[in-house]
């Protein structure tokens, strides 16, 4: 696959104004993005997602490292490399609130030297595809947040750039509009063949739209893998063990030593253990501990797991995720 973006050993620090404390927002991050790929940047609050996006689209200059877009190092030929990128940051703030939907699209096209006539067909197409046609003459300040966000994304699409960066496209939207924006992104993914990097807290966005996810925590990459691999990998590992009684404190402690992410839900009649097994043989270590007090095992089931649970496990583990 052809690579379009290469992020290499990127580091960015901020200095707090008052205390002069240095914050390392992004620490030695490296990853690549292939042409046509949808990459999800995922991480808890303050992990460094927005900083990474702003570095890639040239709004911030890295302290160390480099960003190569379509073979061009953006420090050497900044404008040329940035021609390949459109970004939607903080959604609706990029728009002109006193202009209508269509006028916004025409205005931003004009900024790039495209005439109104030249882009009319393209604007009609975007309005149609993203269900904005009905609102084309509405002022932006009268639109819902979801509609504003969709328009901001449509503006980014107008530029024809190969790479689109979206920072938290569904942030603050209610469930219904969040779903609409997701549908719009799906349309872009399937019909416009762009390379997209999406930063998001929204696990549905990552699970439904992204081919691959880079998970960042404390400014460092903890996972870089295909979404389907992560789902498969964690599904294989996750078990629910139903016990016919309680564990002793000693058993619980022994199990926690062996399986630090173990969840124990005690119940005098039927307790449950939720456990991740890296290798299937590890189940025998679990049985050994249960045998100490003759704790009966009533059932062992594979657990169904969603992406949110995977994310929590990875971020809680804070270790480099290893493929098995």
Binding segment (CB under 6 A) for ligand ATP, from list 47-55, 111-119, 141-149, 182-190: 47-55
Cβ closest to ligand ATP, residue 100 vs residue 178: 178
Least separation in angstroms between residue 26's CB and ligand ATP is: 7
Cα 321 to Cα 317: distance, rounded to the nearest angstrom:
9
Least separation in angstroms between residue 197's CB and ligand ATP is: 13
Cβ closest to ligand ATP, residue 10 vs residue 305: 10
Binding segment (CB under 6 A) for ligand ATP, from list 49-57, 116-124, 233-241, 268-276: 49-57
Cβ closest to ligand ATP, residue 54 vs residue 182: 54
> What phi, psi does 288 have (nearest 5°)?
-60, -40
50 binds ligand ATP, rule: CB under 6 A: yes
Q: Name residues whose C-beta falls within 8 Å of residue 152's C-beta, 6 or more positions apart in sequence.
A: 88, 91, 92, 94, 95
**Torsion region of 38: left, alpha or beta (phi above 0 gives left; psi -120 to 50 gives alpha):** beta
25 binds ligand ATP, rule: CB under 6 A: yes
Helices (H), the chain: 49-56, 78-82, 101-111, 116-129, 145-158, 175-191, 203-209, 227-237, 249-258, 282-291, 307-317
295 binds ligand ATP, rule: CB under 6 A: no
Cβ closest to ligand ATP, residue 159 vs residue 206: 206
Residue that is written with structure tokens 């042409």 in the block = 35
Residue that is written with structure tokens 């609102």 in the block = 135
47 binds ligand ATP, rule: CB under 6 A: yes
Least separation in angstroms between residue 138's CB and ligand ATP is: 29
Token pair of 101, please? Answer: 């939907």
43 binds ligand ATP, rule: CB under 6 A: yes
45 binds ligand ATP, rule: CB under 6 A: yes
Cα 10 to Cα 86: distance, rounded to the nearest angstrom:
20
Which residues make up the interface to ligand ATP (CB under 6 A)? 14, 16, 23, 25, 43, 45-51
């Amino acid at each position: 696959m052809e690579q379009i973006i290469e992020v290499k050993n990127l580091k960015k620090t901020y200095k707090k104004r008052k205390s002069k404390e240095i914050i390392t927002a992004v620490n030695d991050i490296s990853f690549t993005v292939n042409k046509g790929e949808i990459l999800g940047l995922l991480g808890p609050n303050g992990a460094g997602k927005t900083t990474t996006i702003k570095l890639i689209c040239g709004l911030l200059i890295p302290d160390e490292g480099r960003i190569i877009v379509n073979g061009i190092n953006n420090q050497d030929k900044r404008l040329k490399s940035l021609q390949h990128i459109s970004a939607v940051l903080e959604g609706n703030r990029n728009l002109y609130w006193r202009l209508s939907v269509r006028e916004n699209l025409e205005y931003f096209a004009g900024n790039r030297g495209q005439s109104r006539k030249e882009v009319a067909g393209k604007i009609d197409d975007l309005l149609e595809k993203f269900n904005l046609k009905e609102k084309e003459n509405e002022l932006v300040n009268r639109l819902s947040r979801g509609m504003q966000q969709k328009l901001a994304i449509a503006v980014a699409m107008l530029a024809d750039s190969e790479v689109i960066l979206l920072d938290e496209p569904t942030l603050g939207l209610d469930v219904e509009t969040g779903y609409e924006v997701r549908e719009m992104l799906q349309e872009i993914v399937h019909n416009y063949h762009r390379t997209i990097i999406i930063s998001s807290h929204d696990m549905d966005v990552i699970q439904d739209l992204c081919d691959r996810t880079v998970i960042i925590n404390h400014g460092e990459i903890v996972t870089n893998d295909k979404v389907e691999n992560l789902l498969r990998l964690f599904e294989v590992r996750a078990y629910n063990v139903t016990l016919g009684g309680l564990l002793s404190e000693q058993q619980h402690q022994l199990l926690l030593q062996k399986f630090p992410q173990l969840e124990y839900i005690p119940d005098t009649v039927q307790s449950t253990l939720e456990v991740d097994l890296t290798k299937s043989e590890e189940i025998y270590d679990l049985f050994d501990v249960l045998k100490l007090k003759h704790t009966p095992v009533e059932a062992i089931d594979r657990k169904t797991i969603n992406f949110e649970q995977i994310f929590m496990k990875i971020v809680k583990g804070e270790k480099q995720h290893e493929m098995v």
